[in-house]
Amino acid sequence: MIEVAIKLLQKNNYKITKQRRSLLDYLSHFQEQYVTISAVDKYMHKIYPGMSHNTIYRNIKEFEEIGIIEHRIRDGNASVKYQCDFVHHHHHFICKRCGKVQEVQMCPLDFFEEQLPGCKIDGHHFELYGICADCIRIAKENSNA
């Protein structure tokens, strides 16, 4: 999975360093849930103690700009997740209990564009929050025990 990200980096004229490769490898474990940027920073400092915080944050920002990771801020915490699909536009359902992220195919942008005649929408971010089917099932099992 990181080979696609490496190709994107190369296409955008970024060098493939061992630090970037390690960062990609770590982030690739977070395709179904977000990880805080501070946890990413902590992990990278464990492997590369001399690596500056600025370098880590700059790489995260660059990864976001070219579509390798997705970024969100919730409750004041910045988090990222590895892009689950590099090809098509999509949105997410995020479980508030376990943090699992599921891809949602339908985009509501057409609905909003119809309500804004004469306007040009040039970006959007859409997420749904709730409790996933697994957490509901586990809660039901625990209440029946």
CA pair distance 69, 80, nearest whole angstrom: 6
64 alpha carbon, distance to own chain's centre: 9
CA pair distance 46, 48, nearest whole angstrom: 6
CA pair distance 46, 44, nearest whole angstrom: 5
Residue 84 labeled ligand binder: no
Residue 29 labeled ligand binder: no
Residue 89 labeled ligand binder: yes
* Percentages (nearest 5) of helix, strand, coil residues in the chain: 45, 20, 35
Pairing relation of β-strands 127-130 and 91-95? parallel
* DSSP code for 123: -
Beta bridge partners of 145: none
Residue 132 labeled ligand binder: yes
Residue 95 labeled ligand binder: yes
Q: Which residues are annotated as a binding site?
A: 89, 95, 98, 124, 132, 135
Q: Which residues are annotated as a binding site for Zn(2+)?
A: 95, 98, 132, 135
Q: Which residues are annotated as a binding site for Fe cation?
A: 89, 124
